[in-house]
Amino acid sequence: MFNPLDYPLFLEHPERPPRGAHRQYVPFAMALVQMLRPRRVVALGLGDGDVYLATCQAVAALGLGATCLGIDEAPSVELRAHHDARYGAFSRLITASPATAGDLGDRADHGDLGDRADRGDIEPLDLVIVDPSSGIDGAAAFAGWRARTSERAVVAVYDNVGGGRGEPLWRELAADRPSFQLDHAGGLGIVAIGSDVPDPLRAMAALGPADAAALRACYARVGAAAADVVARELHARVERAEHTEAVLSEVLDSVSFRVGKTATAPLRWAFDRVGEAIAWRPHRRSERRVRRHGADGEATPPPPERLKDFAAGTRPARVCLFSHFDRDGIVDDYVLRYLDALRGCGLDIVFVSTAPTLRPEALARVAPLCAAVLLRENVGFDFGSWRAALDSYPWILDGELLVVANDSVYGPVRALRPLFDAMSARACDFWGMTESRQLSQHLQSYFLAFKKECLQSETFRAFFADVAFFDDKKQVIDAYELTLTGRLAAAGLRWAAVAPHVELDGRVLNPVHHLWRSTLDGGVPFVKVELLRDNPLKANLHGWESFLRHRFGYETEPILRHLRRIKPDAEALRVR
């Protein structure tokens, strides 16, 4: 089954507002790059540049290390300025006729890529984009480049319906080859011309008539929504989610998507997930009474058991409160590696576990890495553990730095100290790894760092003093994770994120799930355990282990051991 949510870049906002004839294809152009992950791209004809810039944006967001080449007889000055400033490191624009592949003219100002194009020694192409909107002959343009395509090459032909300039080339290429056709806005066809057909295109080509029509309708509506937003707010940042939600709701409720006697039930499931990703709706609160310790006159849980305490007379100024839970009382290797990295940042660690018990061998492994080890009742989740530690050691709030973290992430996949030092030097009072705007603007709580100015704030101290020990996770998220950033900011405290929302479009997508690869490439050194264990939002996990090993040199065996122990049927163990 083809699941469009496996390729969520189609929900990203374009860095340059599209304005040309193919502006409705900007979302699909970004998704296509995510589907194919090409190594070499050439665009024959640029038109207004919308499609090519979207392609480059996707290449950059995914960190593909690809080489891109855009050829047009007259690329605009504005297009070149926007392109060169953002994508010049891996892409070149060349002024020439796309049909004259062997004679690209004077390229002295286009660097090595232009020189290699002149010599005809460009490496095999994985994606060829043919855009005849600027008046080129699509068939003639492609003829000069066909011999340079790879075994996994895909050709995207625009203006390929209704007598458009791309239709003759499309008819020639699509005959008896795996392909998929989009009919809106002049038409776009994608066809595999090599012997190694990419899996996403194979899956799209295999869709039945009802599912194919539903998929076309979705991409058409999303493209129209994006174009409409740009038309109304040319220079605004994203106010896109509400409009796109309404549009997709219309699609999801249309006849094409009704689950009955049609063959669209599997695809309906996929688009339900798309709807969830685009329009994140708060779940209705459980009507059952949530047990709450430490509020409204109810008793607080007993104080933690101190399995190891700070050395007598020591009060470190830089402390990390680390929240841990394991049903079997184990401290896994990935946790030990994380603790060691935190120690390497000059932090003294208070390890707070809510496991039923800590096995002696687990305590023996964790104790040398930590200044203190606490074992407490399993209520309140991470915020309860952090409050319990502060109640045990209130002098921590008089220090210089407090980090709160937990065992919900694998990593760090790269050295933590350089990132830690860089963020510590930022002009902010507290910081985190990822900013999200799902439900509210906030720093995600799996890693937060609070500087001295924040620790001395009455707002900060009152927040943690008032933390209640809920036994419902959603209650904890609603009451604490979603509100902490806003409450501190309202008190005048400045915050920062390694991966801010402006780059990740986090209001629409969860950055550590849907955009986990981009988040890693953007500097965040962690992968969520939940992503690999459960993959609740159905992100594309294919090749995750190879990605971590080859991109970051990260040894993944501790992750694999943990997954095999806690969830031996995890998807991540099958698609690594």
Tokens describing residue 156: 């995207």
**Which pairs with CB-CB distance under 8 Å and at least 24 residues apart come from 284-293?**
285/474, 285/475, 285/478, 286/472, 286/474, 290/470, 290/471, 290/472, 290/475, 291/379, 291/470, 291/471, 291/472, 292/468, 292/469, 292/470, 292/471, 292/475, 293/379, 293/380, 293/468, 293/469, 293/470
pLDDT attached to residue 448? 97
pLDDT attached to residue 230? 53
Q: What average pLDDT does the segment 157-182 reach?
A: 90
312 and 176 housed in the same domain: no
Beta carbons within 10 angstroms of residue 479's beta carbon: 17
Query: Is residue 454 in some structural domain?
Result: yes
Q: Which of 519, 538, 562 is the last residue of a domain?
A: 519
Q: Which of 151, 174, 208 is the last residue of a domain?
A: 208
Query: Is residue 414 in some structural domain?
Result: yes
145-156 pLDDT, tens digit per residue, is: 999 999 999 999
pLDDT attached to residue 335? 97
Residue 184, pLDDT > 50, answer yes
Q: What is the CATH number of the domain that holds 199?
A: 3.40.50.150
Tokens describing residue 132: 């005849």
Query: Is residue 443 in some structural domain?
Result: yes
Q: What is the CATH number of the domain that holds 413?
A: 3.90.550
Query: Is residue 258 in some structural domain?
Result: no
Distances (CA, A) of 46 to 26, 228, 264, 419, 541: 13, 22, 36, 39, 33
204 and 300 housed in the same domain: no
199 and 319 housed in the same domain: no
**Single pTM value for the model:** 0.53
What band does 463 get if pLDDT is binned at 50, 70 and 90? Answer: very high
Dihedral over Cα of 118, 120, 122, 126: its sign: positive
Q: Which of 208, 228, 259 is the last residue of a domain?
A: 208
3-state helix, strand, coil in the chain (%, to 5): 45, 15, 40
DSSP states along 461-515: HHHHHT--EES-HHHHIIIIIHHHHHHHHHTT--EEEEE-HHHH-TTTS-TTTTT
pLDDT higher at 12 or 107: 12
pLDDT attached to residue 47? 87
Size (the chain), residues? 576
Strand partners, 404: 321, 448
pLDDT attached to residue 472? 87
Alpha helix ranges (H) inside 253-392: 265-278, 333-343, 360-366, 381-392
pLDDT attached to residue 406? 97
DSSP states along 247-266: HHHHHHTSGGG--SSSS-HH
Residue 519 contacts residue 500 (beta carbons within 8 Å): no
Residue 177 contacts residue 201 (beta carbons within 8 Å): no
311 and 442 housed in the same domain: yes
Residue 393, pLDDT > 60, answer yes
307-336 pLDDT, tens digit per residue, is: 999 999 999 999 999 999 999 999 999 999
DSSP strand pairing (40-44 vs 67-72): parallel
Which structural domain range is residue 413 located in?
293-519
Query: Is residue 95 in some structural domain?
Result: yes
User: What phi and psi values does residue 212 have, to the nearest 5 degrees?
Assistant: -65, -40
92 and 197 housed in the same domain: yes
What band does 271 get if pLDDT is binned at 50, 70 and 90? Answer: low
Query: Is residue 529 in some structural domain?
Result: no
What band does 255 get if pLDDT is binned at 50, 70 and 90? Answer: very low
Which of 13-27, 300-314, 442-456 is predicted with the least confidence, judged by mean pLDDT? 13-27
Side-chain-facing half-sphere of 186: CA atoms under 13 Å: 15
Q: What average pLDDT does the segment 519-548 reach?
A: 92
Strand partners, 432: 448, 497
Dihedral over Cα of 479, 483, 485, 488: its sign: negative
pLDDT attached to residue 221? 81
491-504 pLDDT, tens digit per residue, is: 999 999 998 864 44
Query: Is residue 46 in some structural domain?
Result: yes
Query: Is residue 287 in some structural domain?
Result: no
What's the maximum distance between 2 C-alpha atoms anywhere in the chain?
A: 84
Q: How many structural domains compose the chain?
A: 2
